[in-house]
Amino acid sequence: MKKIFYLLLIVPMIGMAQLKSIPKKITIPKPKITLPKVIPTTSGLTNPIDISAGLKEALNNGITKEVSKLTAVDGFLKNEAVKIIMPAELQKVESTLRKLGMGNLADQGITAMNRAAEDAVKEATPIFVSAIKNMNITDAKSILLGNENAATVYLQGTTNKDLYAKFSPVVQQSIGKVGADVIWSTLISKYNNIPFVTKVNPDITDYVTNKSMEGVFKMIAVEEKNIRTDLKSRTSPLLQSVFGLLDRK
């Protein structure tokens, strides 16, 4: 009987001792969570409408800036990147005339071509604006993530035919307005009258039209590259937002 009594007394005491040995606060280690690396895309950072609007703003800015430069007096003539020189078939003409002391006539011919180009490019803006308005969201995404001249290539593809149709009559008219038709007629006539030379009669209107278009696209490509790579060229919050996507690529 005494043994049972002692047993009942000892068991609670042992239990109390075990409880005291358990730490008051149990620290459970937190699992380490590794988040997946986020790769920037056009989704989530800005919506498709913003991308389209940003590209349209960039193109409008670039066109306004570069077309203004090219349509100014000497916009072509004094810009070595786009200056129109004698066509290949007339370079021998130019060289021969200069050797014969008629370099001034050759200079007048070059000036006349560039004046005609400066006149023609004034017709470019409305055609470009129309192409930009018709740009869809898919075009915008492709252009944004494309090469550094992707927007320029897009404009070439969508405006080439219309630009030629607009430029050509202006060039022809301008050649007459600045007296280039007389200059060219005199230049070609003088050359063709030189003994033993191969007679030439190039289509100057076609040549100047194509060179005018080439010059416009070349300068727009320069502006596009600036906006893509130079932060200072992103002159609005929209441009900074849209083209900032390229900085995270």
Angle CA 75–63–167, to nearest 5: 65
Model pLDDT for residues 130-140, shown as the tens digit of each residue: 999 999 888 98
The alpha carbon torsion through 82, 216, 164, 105 (nearest 10 deg) reads -20
Lowest-pLDDT range of 49-53, 64-68, 167-171, 212-216: 49-53
Pairwise CA distance, residues 97 & 94, whole Å: 5
Interior/surface letters 211-230, b for 16+ CB within 10 angstroms, e for the rest: bbbebbbbbbbebbbbbbee
Band (pLDDT 50/70/90 cuts) for residue 236 is: confident
Model pLDDT for residues 154-209, shown as the tens digit of each residue: 999 999 999 999 999 999 888 877 666 777 777 777 777 888 777 777 778 888 99
Contact criterion met (CB below 8 Å) for 196 and 149? no
Lowest-pLDDT range of 24-28, 93-97, 129-133, 185-189: 24-28
Overall average pLDDT of the 230-238 stretch: 86
Greatest pairwise CA separation for the chain in angstroms: 149
Length of the chain (residues) = 249
